Structure 1
Amino acid sequence: MQIFAEGNFLSRNMSLVLEPPLLPRDIHGAPPEGFLTKLSEVIGSFTTLRKMALFWCKIVTEIRRLWSEELYIPGIPLDEIPDLNSCRLYQQLQVVNSCVSRKKWRTLATQSIESVMRHAGSCSEESADLQGTVTSHHILYARISTGELVLRLGADRPADNLTMLETGEPVYSPITQEGPLLTEDLIKETEEFVLRTGSVGAGCSQLLSDMQAFKAANPGCILEDFVRWHSPPDWTEGEPSDEAQEYVDQVDSSSTRGQLSSRMQKEGNLWRELWETAKPVPAVKQAPLFDVDLAVEGILNDLEDIPPVELFEQLFISLLGLGFVMAEAKLSCNNDLLKIFLECKDYVVVTCQGKIWSDKMDDLCQVYETVETMLLNPEEVLKAARQMEETNTVGEPRRRLKMLGLSFGSKERNSRNPSKDEKNSEENSSRQPFSTFFDGKSSLFLKKPPRPESVSFGDKAAYQDENENDWTIV
């Protein structure tokens, strides 16, 4: 099975809940049905750090290839803003796919607008007039105050029955540039920069870009038209008040149908200054506000140089979330087991939301083993729970879970190497969906770490001599 094969890498018999699971987002993991969780499973099956490192380097190389060919990473949303409730690695992969979408859109939009301009140049003004403001080829025109028809560029759709104040032509919403794609760490950096410097440069750039796109889509428009479309609360319909009449006379516009807000009328208003400098340029012809090539290159470099501890923490949490989602689907029909499971789930959520959850890795593994035993030997768990109740064992959930784990944890670890007959019987049991995660082969859940070897994730030369060039996972 190829990990990058579209639609095939999630073909295991996963019994997931029908509603979108909340646990992976609560613990800052990754969606259970996605690429990153599958990657966690595969890397967790390796027994040495060297094999993990070599495989990760190949993953990054493959992602780089997909980007260069404008192909999507399978199992990751195609065009969504980063999910800040997921782990940083998943957010970065979301950015890569969204950048692929934006790159493809820009290419198609550029070709489309150039085709419109070529066709408009071959059409006479009379033919456009016969069709009103739209020709048979869906080319839009606007008649300016001089009576001349001017081509609309980058127009999206009519804007809520608005008409331009000076010309009476319908206002069209322009296609605008999308904002930056920021992961959680970049948002924090941006906020710190703004607080430290007081800069509003990014906001001004976006506003200027919107103004230029609006001018291109609405020839003959004025600032008041843009404000009515972009910021309706800053426009009041009706006759201007006496105190605003002087301003209306100064700008000599057709604003008698309404007035701008007081902040828009103040001298030196930033909107008016930007409006005066804005040129009619459609969004696709403007310099990008967000450089997708630079953003993805930075992410790929981060993935190549990611410290192993950061990678494994995110993979561990993603795999942990998948296990609990699958377990909940199976245990929800047994009220007694469900009660214990929910205690395990709550403990995992509270622990993982802490800033030093990695210090409690042993506790998380023990809780995970408790859930494993609930699936494989439910009677054993219920028996241990009843014994605690009969002896009036009370206390915080962590203590209860720890006692449950001690009741069967060591026994379970001693049975990690079942006989051949036991293996065959297990494969035919209800354990099948958990064969990858609960059979002791996932080194991400071993108490002892995999054998260390002197290989860093950024050492590309280390795997170039390897013969493992096939993506097939045996």
Structure 2
Amino acid sequence: MLSTENDFPLSATLHPLARWFGLADFVVMTSSPFNKIDYKVSEDRLKILHSSIVMAVSNTKCPIPMFLQFDEPLRQMFVGVSEVSGFRTLYEIIDLQKIPERLQTLSGLLEIFKGKIGVEDSTQLIKASIQFTIDLLPDTIEFEDTPEENEDSSLTLKLGSIPFGPEEFNSFVIHLFTSWPNANADAIEDTLLHSDLEPLQAPKWAAQLVFEENATYKIAETIKTFAKQTHRRESIHSFLEYLEKEQLRKEEKEQAAEVLERLTAASPRDHLRSRLSKAIYSRLPKYHLPVPIDAENLNDILAYIFPDSDLAKEMGKSYLTFTEPPDNIFKGAKAAPCDSLAFRLALAVFFVYERFGGVLAVAYLWQEVILELRYRWENGLLIAGVDGDMPNHGTCLLHQKLQMLKCCIIKRQAGSGSTGEASPQGMQSSSSMYMDTQSDVMTDDEDEFFDCETDDEDKPRNSTHIAVLKPEGRKEAHPTLRLLHNPEVSIFIPVTQEPAPMTEDVAREHLEKLVATEEEAEGKANRIRLQSVALVSDMSAFKAANPGCVFEDFVRWHSPRDWEEESGTSRLSERMSQAGTAWKDAWEAAEGKSVRRQKRLFDERVEAENVLSFMDMLIGEVFRHTLPMLMKAGLIRLFEEMDSLEVTVQHDKRTLAKMLSRLFSEQLFSWTDFENFITSLRSNEQALCAYKSMRRLSAKSAALPEHQTFTNFLRQLVEDRQLRAVPGGARSPLGQHIAVCFDQGNQSRGGSSSGNVSLRAQPPKRRLPSPAVRQFILRTVAPRPYLFSRPSIHRMFASLSERDIRIAGAFSEDLLYG
């Protein structure tokens, strides 16, 4: 108890008894919390139990202190005893909510301590260790962040962005510890009238950054709140119908004068429609709604989502944008590119959810987006922000569906010969690609089948009759191959249909059908049919381009490795020569038709309607399909802050990017992995916000020398989150910087907890705020209980805050001469 090494430990996991008494080993006895009848030790039973512990320690000569916890567990009240070498030490604790005036100063505590050990002699040496804790709360720091958000701020400044920073001002606190270790207690004057304990004169300083456990931060909280909406099962139309009913109920309560005014003036019941999709509203059900988004803001949002529209060009506004990181760090993340429609749509959904009434506004905006997509499909207008000509399975499903819709629009343009006035740059090349390969495919206005002659079935299928057929659908002659039954005729490469593009969900469903019923005959037939759709189309085109051909000719062109040539003889491979193979069955079923006369493998009308039906989803699915882009945007926003601030955070960029990729790599979303991702994201955002605030704080002392040393010290506080000493205390250059930042003129903590401050001595030119906590440790060696007793060790710990005072005393007595 005489050692000063354990004075004022700061470990949060340390037991309070070790903090109050400086003990390393001890035993605590407490009632079981599972005993619901009497789970706590009341004070009337305390003396009996305490006497039993004293007798047990005396009989066993146990040197380890034994403690008994009583009263409410949250109060942390203990009594204890120990016996060593004929000395018994009693441990006592008092906790007062109202601080007596005499206990507010060191002099008053010293009187209590002397009275307890029975020492009246002023020459008794009593050592005192003192520590004051001064808090700097973040609400006294001007947080450096994006422009202040208020109702009058410009919409374009916030649309397309992700907020960053703490939700509250109490996200962290900086503790400044000023200490006087092992000083002579009688040499220090600390009364209600005067105090020598001035923090600026303390010989020892230290600082520590402490984060609030329950503090929330904007990026992490935004994603977490957004993800909670994925569980909603309401449909988009249910919200629109709800708004319709609310409007009708409101109209019934209006007075006749207001009704007359609506009849004579412009009707406010007209459904707010975007200028983008106004042309097709007459073809869809109308909802006369009290719209959650006014016309001006809705036009701004739609112009942001569709920047290639006439409305966006007319408005001419610029919006915040995100840029892909240069190191391609999101390569494995199944989201969407930053310049894509899906990415902008996710940010717009987040914006209206936060700004315009939650899910009602999201449902309203999503309906507008569906109408605009349908308008573009029906008018053959491409969509800006949808890259590629085929669905990319490495992106999210929403982006794939939009890519599929683009494929349909390009196919529609190829069939109609129109490129569309509103198509973005690069549309011409996409159309030409489809024109080259699909020009022979049947258009919308052509029939898919032709009537056959009545005697076709009676004609034998042999080369003599087929040879007189007119070839069609030829692309070019093969440079080397010739027909087996007519070697003088070259094999012509037919014009074939392009493989039908598939989104990931359709491809997965297709694969499940292939492996569903492997052993059943019907399942095998379905599997062969699914596998051979494109193959039969190629065979039909080959037969039409090469009248008189046989199955072996098709194999030589389509699958050369299945045609074996050895010693001047040629034959089919073993797998092809087996009777009943899928290829032979498909060859027998294929008719000689060019692609112009075939049924299309890819019907853009059906696929486009499937995409639009997919977009008409549940409101929870809207949040689920846009969540990957919002999470990616949150990480990019975080990475920007990490690049701008020279501070080491707990998780690097690649770690967070891999966590994002792992979240959406599987079909089933793992909420456990999501919580881990949010925790890691919050940890980084927490450190960045704290350093950003403290860097702004350090600007107050920029005029002092060695400012870079102070900046490095603040950065170490954030990175280590441990107690860091200030060499030289207040007199060092580092201490001068801290004193400026903690100056009372920059921070106000309210009233003092140490009495009437106005009666104290005149404060210095620069004065620190009043301590939030003041701690004292008094220790001495004196005989007890009598003057002729052997000297024993006595220790008293006192902690004073604005709310209460706690005193923990360990007083020894001589059992041999007592």
Q: TM-score, normalised by structure 2?
A: 0.37
Give the alignment of 1:122-133 within 5 angstroms.
none
Per the alignment, residue 202 of structure 1 pairs with 530
Specify the alignment match of 2:621 in structure 1. Answer: 310
Does the CA-based 8 Å contact 1:95-1:296 persist in structure 2? yes
For residue 590 of structure 2, the aligned residue among 249, 258, 278 is: 278
Distance 2:715 2:478 in 1: 63
Match of 2:407 in 1: 98
Tell whether the 8 Å contact from 1:32 to 1:325 is kept in structure 2 after alignment: no
Deviation at 1:10, TM superposition (A): 8.7
Alignment of 1:407-446 (within 5 A): none
Q: 1:180 aligns with which of 500, 503, 515?
A: 500
Out of 56, 78, 87, the residue aligned to residue 366 of structure 2 is 56
Contact map agreement 1:10 1:38 (CA 8 A) in 2: no
- 1:271 deviation in Å? 2.8
Q: Show the 5 A alignment for 1:104-119.
A: 104-106=413-415, 113=440
User: Quick one: which of 325, 330, 348 aligns to 1:17?
Assistant: 325
8 Å Cα contact 2:483-2:553 kept in structure 1: yes
Q: Measured at CA, do residues 51 and 227 of structure 1 come closer, stay the same or move farther in structure 2, by a change above 3 Å? A: same
Contact 2:495 2:541 in 1 (8 A): yes
Equivalent in 181, 189, 193 of residue 513 of structure 2: 193
Residue matched to 2:306: 4
Q: What is aligned with 1:45? A: 351
Kindly state the Cα deviation for residue 363 of structure 1 after the two structures are TM-superposed. Answer: 6.0
- The structure carrying a bigger helix percent of its residues is 1
Distance 1:153 1:389 in 2: 81
Alpha carbons 2:495, 2:595 under 8 Å: kept: yes
CA distance in structure 2 between the aligned counterparts of 1:335 and 1:346, rounded to whole angstroms: 23
Partner letter of residue 362 of structure 2? M
Match of 1:171 among 465, 478, 491: 491
**Shift, 1:308, TM fit:** 1.5
SS in structure 1 of the partner of residue 652 of structure 2: helix
Coordinate RMSD, CA, aligned:
3.9
In the other structure, the counterpart of 2:81 is none
Q: Aligned-pair distance for 1:353? A: 4.9
Per the TM alignment, residue 112 of structure 1 is displaced from its structure 2 partner at its CA by 5.4
**Structure 1 counterpart SS, 2:337:** coil
Cα distance change of structure 1 residues 316 and 236 upon mapping to structure 2, 3 Å threshold: same
Structure 1 pair 192/16, CA: closer, same or farther in 2 (3 Å)? closer
Quick one: which amino acid aligns to residue 34 of structure 1?
Answer: S
> 1 CA distance for matches of 2:387 and 2:478?
30
Deviation at 1:30, TM superposition (A): 1.8
Alignment partner of 1:212 out of 523, 529, 540? 540
Per the TM alignment, residue 53 of structure 1 is displaced from its structure 2 partner at its CA by 0.9
| Cα distance in structure 2, aligned partners of 1:179 and 1:339 | 47
Q: How far 1:320 moved relative to its partner?
A: 1.6
Pairwise mapping of residues 152-301 of structure 1 onto structure 2 (< 5 A)?
A: 152-159=471-478, 161-165=480-484, 166-197=486-517, 198=523, 199-200=526-527, 201-239=529-567, 256=569, 258-301=570-613
Conserved 8 A contact 1:84-1:91 = yes
Cα shift readout 1:298-356 (whole Å, capped 9, x = no counterpart) = 2212211x122221122122122133245546746878547733344444444555744
Tell me the distance in 2 between the aligned counterparts of 1:317 and 1:111: 35
2:338 to 32, 44, 62: 32
Alignment CA distance shift 1:353-1:276 (3 Å): closer
Query: For residue 564 of structure 2, what is the amino acid of its counterpart?
Result: T
Distance 1:376 1:307, change over 3 A: same
Q: Deviations over 1:157-206 (max 9, x none)?
A: 45464333323444343232233333222223222222223322122222
| Structure 2 unaligned spans of 5+ | 1-299, 418-434, 442-462, 518-522, 695-713, 725-818
Alpha-carbon distance between aligned partners in 2 of 1:205 and 1:111, rounded to the nearest angstrom: 17
* 3-state SS, counterpart of residue 564 of structure 2: strand
- For structure 1, the residue ranges without an aligned partner over 5 or more in a row are 115-143, 241-255, 392-474
Any idea what SS the aligned residue of 1:283 has? coil
Structure 1 position 361, deviation (Å)? 6.1
Alpha carbons of structure 1 residues 105 and 372: separation in structure 2 relative to 1, 3 Å: farther
SS at match of 2:387: coil
SS at match of 1:213: helix
Which of 50, 74, 83 is the equivalent residue of 2:384?
Answer: 74
**Per the alignment, do residues 162 and 104 of structure 1 end up closer, same or farther by CA in structure 2, a change over 3 Å counting?**
farther
Please state how far the C-alpha of 1:233 moved relative to its aligned partner: 1.6
Q: Which has the larger radius of gyration?
A: 2
2:581 and 2:590 map into 1 onto residues whose CA distance is: 15
CA 1:97/1:19 → structure 2, altered by over 3 Å: closer, same or farther? farther
Instruction: Supply the distance in 2 between the matched residues of 1:10 and 1:19 (Cα, whole angstroms).
Output: 26
Which of 1 and 2 has higher RCO (CA within 8 Å, sep 6+)?
Answer: 1
2-side partners of 1:35 and 1:76: how far apart? Answer: 6
1:83 to 389, 392, 398: 392
Q: Which has the higher strand share?
A: 2
1:71 counterpart SS class: coil
Which residue number corresponds to residue 429 of structure 1?
none
Q: Report deviation, 1:277.
A: 3.9
Q: 1:373 to 1:388 in 2, by over 3 A?
A: closer
Structure 2 counterpart of 1:403: none
1:172 and 1:310 map into 2 onto residues whose CA distance is: 50
